Structure formats: structure tokens, C-alpha cells
Homo-oligomer: A and B are copies of this chain.
């Protein structure tokens, strides 16, 4: 197997401050994986054999309840760790991970986690921060679903996605992976119909531009107004 180059991970937040030797040692224990678009990388409640670092692509983290309702918990972008069950004190994955596009990841066996964390306080701190952010983020979304109306939630999610993964084009900010009305509805707790209706409205006004699984935010500030509109 080819040795992986430390430049792959050296500058990523979880690994800053780690010595070159340690990084190389870590990489020697990693395997690199490709995941085709649509593939499920791991499932909820499955034993967490590995944790992952996403090198390229986008991953959807999905929860499914007994009724079969799906909800997209979050998207993972390149450079982020995922499947880090140990960081939340679990031995099983808390959700399903699906490749939203063709993805490239590194994988490490979960058994090295404890050692890694105790040897590298910077890594530890970073991962706990990550978990903390995810908690805060989930909390915020809960608040939003509970208090804001659909229109605001959708505007907000579009802005967040644009922020997280947006790519500037000449028309505006393009959300850089295929995303359907259904996906948006699963992030905001509504139906694809309502999403479609609202976005059609915004498209008429020229605030967004969208095609099949493709959304460009043209006038972000208008959406911000919608997102933060005070209820009345």
C-alpha cells in the first residue's frame, strides 16, 4: 500500500499541533476509502468499527424513525470527522451516513480512539468542540422548528447550506452538491410540496435560481430578511 502523504491532513483543524511523526504514524493506520454517490457508509445502531475523515465529497447524516420518516440531521463537508461514536461515549453509530456525491474518506479503527485522544490533547479538544457545535446546532434547529414558520426555516437552511458549502458562480452562490426539494423538506420538517411552492415563489422574485437538484442563492440578503422576520 502506498504511504499516504501527511499534507492530506496536516492542516485540518483536528490535527493542528500534532507532530509530523505522530501524523505519519496515524496515517499509516488509516485506510482510504471511496464511496459512490448514494451508498450508505454506516447505519444507525451498528457497531462503530471505524471513525472517518472526509477528504472529499459531501455526506448526509440521516435519522429514520419507526414510521419510516426520514430526517437529515446534518451534512458533513470535506475536512470533517464523522462516525466518531467514541467522542459521544458510544460504541454504536448514532445515525446513518450516506454519500451525497462520490466521496473519499480515510478510516481508522475505533479501537485507536482512546489512545489518540489521550496522546493528543489538541485533537481531543477539537473533537469535543465539534461535538459541542453539533449539539448547539441541533439545539438551534429544534428551537427553530418549534417557533419559526416553514418559510423562515427553509430560508435559513438555504443560507446555512450556502454558507457551509456554497461556491460562488456568476449567478450567485451555488450549493455545491445535488440537493432535492425532498432533502430540504427533510431538513426543515416539512413536505416537499411546501418547499417547492415557496421556492417557486422566490424564484419568480429572482431571489434564488434552481434546477433539478441544484440551488443557487441569488439574493441572500432577501432570504435573510425572510429567515429572521419577526412573527406576527
Residue of B nearest to A70 (CB): B147
Bound Cα distance A95, B130 (Å): 18
Residues A94 and B136 in contact, CB atoms below 8 Å apart? yes
At the interface, yes or no: A31 with Cβ under 8 Å from chain B? no
Asked whether, in the complex, the Cβ of B139 is within 8 Å of the Cβ of A63, the reply is yes
CB-based contact B189/A67 at 8 Å: no
Q: Chain B residues near A66 (CB, 8 Å)? A: 228, 230
Judge whether A143 and B65 touch: CB under 8 Å: yes
Q: Does A125 contact B (CB under 8 A)?
A: yes
Taking a contact as CB atoms under 8 Å apart, the answer to whether B138 and A71 are in contact is: no
Complex interface bits, A125-149 against B, C-beta within 8 A gives 1, otherwise 0: 1101111111110110111011100
Which chain A residues numbered 75 to 124 have a C-beta less than 8 Å away from chain B? Answer: 87-90, 94-95, 118, 121
Provide a sorted-by-A list of 9 A–B residue pairs whose CB atoms are within 8 angstroms.
Answer: A66-B228, A67-B230, A71-B142, A94-B136, A95-B139, A134-B135, A135-B138, A142-B145, A146-B188
Extra inter-chain contacts (4) besides given A89-B129, A89-B133, CB under 8 Å: A63-B143, A88-B131, A90-B129, A138-B142
